Amino acid sequence: MSDKFYINKFGVKVLKEGTGPFQIFTIETVNLEFLLIYILLAESSNEDLNNKKEYLKVLYKNNGDDNLIKFLESEKSDMIFLAKSYEKYFGQMAYTRITDNILSYFKDVLVEVIKAKPQILKSKEKEPLDYIFSFNNMEDLIEDITEKNIEKLFYGSIDDIKKFFSDRLGIQIFENKITEKNFEQFIKQRNLIVHNRGIISKEFAKDYSNEHVTYTSGNILVFSYEDLSNINGVMTNLIANLDMKISEKFKLETLKL
């Protein structure tokens, strides 16, 4: 066992210390796991199913539509109380939350690195004097330039982020081409959910179908509760490795986790 981390029974790397941004990232991943557990356990509650239906019938009584009441009186309404019924919708929402959590970590940790070593932002770009003299001190100027540069960076692609980490920080986000390819797919799946209701495009199907999985254009991306938990673990390992490298190289303050 390393003195910096241990690996739990699910193969997830758990750091003993990490940066402030990593602590925030970890809280988010743990909350998602707890939510998954809550959903799955809530379905197996001992509360009588008929009592749940009766509650809904009272709630919607005199709502102007008796069809809902009739539906609740039928066995078909059992699906309302099954976690499986909402897997497609919840899976996509949780997936985008996982993605945004990772991108937010990238932003947050870059802020910490630039605070420790502002020379990273050194470039040939020139700022107008009226902009420079609008700040009361150098710290505020650096903070504003940092924010502008990071926002600009994250409007680009993951390739831009990877290049920035490599060129400016001297750190490789991905340990190998397979991990990089998987992360690229991870981001593009998020984009399909956000911009195309999770419907697989022809381009995506062509780029990511292989001998293990076949994607069909027009189908919808679905992530089971188990998939979400596995993805959460894989991405936590990626960020944990990155956080250890960055905190060590730039001597960032770390917190006990």
- Which of 119, 94, 133, 116 lies closest to 235, judged by CA? 94
Stretch 105-134: mean pLDDT, rounded? 78
The most confident of 19-33, 75-89, 121-135, 156-170, by mean pLDDT: 19-33
Q: CA-CA distance, 210 to 18, in Å (whole number)?
A: 37
Report the pLDDT value the prediction gives residue 170, as an integer from 0 to 100. 93
**C-alpha span between 58 and 11 (Å, rounded):** 47
pLDDT of residue 241: 94
Contact between 113 and 120 under an 8 Å Cβ cutoff? The reply is yes
Q: Nearest Cα to 107, choosing from 74, 50, 156? A: 156
Which pTM does this prediction carry? 0.81
Q: What is the pLDDT of residues 149-198, one digit of tens each?
A: 777 776 667 788 888 889 889 999 998 998 998 999 999 999 999 999 99
Q: Find the helix or strand (DSSP H, E) in which 50 lies.
A: helix 49-60
pLDDT of residue 114: 85
Domain range annotation of the chain: 5-256
Closest Cα to residue 236, out of 18, 25, 6?
Answer: 25
